[in-house]
Amino acid sequence: MHGIRWVSARRGKLLVLAAVVVTTAVATGASIAGASNSGKAVYQKLKAGPSARLSAATGTSSTDLKTEIRSEVDRAEVNRSIPNAHSAGNGSPQGAPQVTGSAVLAAGSDATGFDGLNHRDQRLAGTGAYTGTQFSLEPPDQALCVGGGYVVESVNTALRVRSATGVSLTAPTAINQFFGLAPEIDRALGVFGDFTSDPKCLYDPGTGKFFLTVLQLGVAPSTGAFTGAANQLIAVSQTGNPTGAWNTFSFATTDDGQNGTPTHTGCPCFGDQPLIGADANGFYISTNEFSIFGDAFNGAQIYALDKVALAAGTLPTVVQLEGGPLEEGISYTVQPATTPDGSGNSTANGGTEYFLSALEFAGGFDNRIAVWALSNTSTLGNVSPDVHLTHAIVGSEVYGAPPPAEQDQTGPAPFGQFGIKQFGFGNGSEPLALLNSNDDRMNQVVYSNGRLWGGLNTRLQASGGPIGTGIAWFAVAPSSGGSATSPTVSGAIAKQGYVAVAQANVMFPAIGVNSTTGKAVMGFTLTGQHYHPSAAYVHLDATNGAGPVRVAAAGQLPADGFTGYKAFGGDGVARWGDYSAAATDASGNVWFATEYIPNAPRTLFANWGTFISTVRP
């Protein structure tokens, strides 16, 4: 065991304890109870949290369904949100930037695709002892990685490997089975297993391996209640074939002074919505830290690990950095960048990993984003890595908290129209729900040829129509200065813009970039008065901006899932997203996966699906 030693660092202190290196950029903590009045302004950021879950049956027998549902344990994770502070953004929550709506066209001849995992696949995933042990849940939380002719897709809480032509190479596999954890629920015995959520994956061209992450919370087997244990799980394929063996790793995220973790306010805590990225040297995970039992929010936590060691099957030293407060509020959703093959990792200051985050703290509007740089990443292979985190604020176009999104009201919605009353959950049918567009946190970020690409949901008014949800996207040119141990970072907007459709909504963007042409594709969900929830995309480039919206897969039915109905504790706004995913293969093709509603076999409680598309930028 290492001794404890404190040394000076750029923005805080370096603690070496046991096998975990914790770099505290700013020692801070916050809870809603202690927040100022301005800090309590909108206690809604990141409200969604991990997917809501029900231990629902999938058969058709009303007797079996009633018995099962009456005895269910609601696995909806406690609402999580960020204490907010004053924001100097433009506009007000009542208004919205006015933009020209995009045309909506069919997919181009350069696009192909196939259906991905759907709710029924997720609910029925698992073999052997895991058969029938999955929960019903919404939303899917999309993960996608592509490499070597393989496509790995994961949703909450299942994964499957396909070929590049869409042929299934594995059956849908339960996440808990994949990681060797106890099943989510043993219905025969009434025993509960580990809570897992929020998958992410990437194919790393440098090591030729696949990386997959999820969060884990311990539960009491007899009740399903959280125990206070929380971990970050990582899986890395042993070869370039993801249908083969994987190495799995785990480290604690409780930050209560146990298991080598630091002591933070309100903990034990867990790392919500882990986000991942990589450069030439490291593998990076960024989370939002929430108390498991209380209201504390401690901001973004960034974990840096030696990528080569992980690929070789060894858990290296884990470096933890707190994002800390930004100019007017605590950091949240600091998105690490992924780097497509051929894009060129940054070698500045001993190796630099870049990140982007949003700065809208108060539920209104802002016109700034943050660019982050983690320097000296070449030291991550050392026993005591010496990395340094800094950030800068960049002026941007206006963006703000989006409203819920409409969907086409036509078509059958059997659960809301008939199932709720038929199975004894309410007094009658309920109207179709709106779709939750969550908030304006930064979505997936890509670093390619000196540009950081990212996008987020925002409130927009397209072509004089009603206010709805659109997308603000950014291509940022970051620049690192100073030195490896005393770095600075700056950034400038190289190109930015909006994507919106009149009388409709686009949301949950994910961007992939072709490193040769510098052009990009952004995938997302399209939904509105005349659109069932559909998978769509636009072409992007840093010269001409965004092209027209193109529909990769038209939604066939309304979203008809349990989270939108009051009989199940909803408020008329159904869970959606919470994010899409994109990846670029070695040939420069962009793949994206997003939630939509197919005409496919469903379960009683949900009918969401996903669509995987590949487009040549």
pLDDT at site 54: 65
pLDDT band at 23; cut points 50, 70, 90: very low
Would you state the pLDDT for residue 332? 95
What is the mean predicted confidence (pLDDT) over 292-318? 96
- H/E segment holding residue 309: helix 307-312
- What is the pLDDT, as a whole number, of residue 44? 36
DSSP 168: B
| DSSP codes joined into one string, 98-121 | EEPPPPEEEPPTTEEEEEEEEHHH
Pairwise CA distance, residues 127 & 183, whole Å: 11
Residue 533: phi and psi, rounded to 5, are -55, 120
pLDDT digits over 475-528, tens only? 999 999 999 999 999 999 999 999 999 999 999 999 999 999 999 999 999 999
Among 297, 475, 446, 279, residue whose Cα is nearest residue 369: 475
The SS3 call for residue 307 is helix
* SS3 category, 418: helix
**Residue 363 binned pLDDT confidence (cut-offs 50, 70, 90):** confident
Hey, what are 97's tokens? 């930037």
Cα–Cα distance measured from residue 32 to residue 296, given in angstroms and rounded to the nearest whole number = 6
What's the CA gap between 268 and 296, in Å, rounded? 10
What is residue 66's predicted lDDT score, i.e. its pLDDT? 39
Segment 451-469, tens digit of pLDDT: 999 999 999 999 989 999 9
User: How far, in Å, CA of 392 to CA of 403, rounded?
Assistant: 29
- Is the confidence at residue 77, as pLDDT, over 80? no
Q: Quick one: which of 313, 260, 250, 315 has its CA closest to 1?
A: 260
Distance CA 469, CA 457 (A): 7
Count the alpha carbons within 13 Å of 83 in the hemisphere toward its beta carbon: 22
Element (H, E) at 176: helix 175-178
- Hey, is 123 helix, strand or coil? helix
> At 201, which amino acid appears?
C
Dihedral of alpha carbons 283, 49, 445, 263, sign:
negative
Euclidean distance between CA atoms 54 and 80, whole angstroms: 19
The DSSP line for 167-207 is -BSS--EEHHHHTTPPPSEETTTTEE--EEEEEEEEEETTT
For the ranges 77-81, 94-98, 202-206, 309-313, which has the lowest average pLDDT?
Answer: 77-81
Task: For residue 288, give the nearest of 276, 277, 275 by alpha carbon.
Answer: 275
pLDDT digits (tens, 9 = 90+) for 254-301: 999 999 999 999 999 999 999 999 999 999 999 999 999 999 999 999
- Name the residue type at position 376: N
Q: Which of 231, 200, 194 is CA-nearest to residue 215?
A: 231
What residues pair up with 405 in beta bridges, in sequence order? 435
Task: Show the tokens assigned to 289.
Answer: 């830290």
Give the pLDDT band of residue 338 (cuts 50, 70, 90): very high
- Note the pLDDT of residue 50: 62
Task: Report the mean per-residue pLDDT for the chain.
Answer: 86
Q: What is the pLDDT of residues 430-440, one digit of tens each?
A: 999 999 999 99
Instruction: State pTM to two decimals.
Output: 0.89
Q: How far apart are CA 139 and CA 417, in angstroms?
A: 21
pLDDT band at 329 (very low <50, low <70, confident <90, very high): confident
Token pair belonging to 130: 């895991």
The whole-number pLDDT of residue 144 equals: 98
d(CA 329, CA 84): 6
> What's the pLDDT score for residue 388?
97
Q: What confidence tens digit (pLDDT) does each residue in 601-614 have?
A: 999 899 999 999 99
Q: How far apart are CA 524 and CA 317, in angstroms?
A: 36
Task: Write down the pLDDT at residue 607.
Answer: 97
As a whole-number percent, the residues of the chain with pLDDT over 90 amount to 78
Q: DSSP secondary-structure letter at 564?
A: G
- Predicted confidence at residue 570, as pLDDT, reads 87
Q: Give the residue with greater pLDDT, 567 vs 523.
A: 523
Interval 332-351 mean pLDDT: 95
* Residue 94 confidence (pLDDT): 59
Domain ranges of the chain: 6-31+51-78+95-615
Closest CA to 513 of 341, 282, 283: 341
pLDDT of residue 52: 75
Kindly tell me if the per-residue pLDDT of 595 is higher than 80: yes
Over residues 35-73, the pLDDT tens digits come to 222 222 222 334 345 667 764 333 333 333 433 443 332
Q: How far apart are CA 500 and CA 161, in angstroms?
A: 33
The more confident residue out of 1 and 257 is 257
Distance of CA 108 to the CA centre of its chain: 27
Q: How far apart (Å, rounded) are the C-alpha atoms in residues 395 and 351? A: 26
- Please tell me the distance from the alpha carbon of residue 162 to that of residue 583, in angstroms, as a whole number: 15
Q: Give residue for tokens 């063996």.
A: 245
Confidence of residue 11 (pLDDT cuts 50, 70, 90): very low
Burial level of 18, CB count in 10 A (0-12/13-18/19+)?
A: exposed
Among candidate residues 517, 533, 535, the one with its CA nearest the CA of residue 581: 535
Could you report the per-residue pLDDT of 157-205, keeping only the tens digit for each? 999 999 999 999 999 999 999 999 999 999 989 899 999 999 999 999 9
As given in the structure block, the two tokens for residue 323 are 């994002």
Average of pLDDT values for 553-562? 97
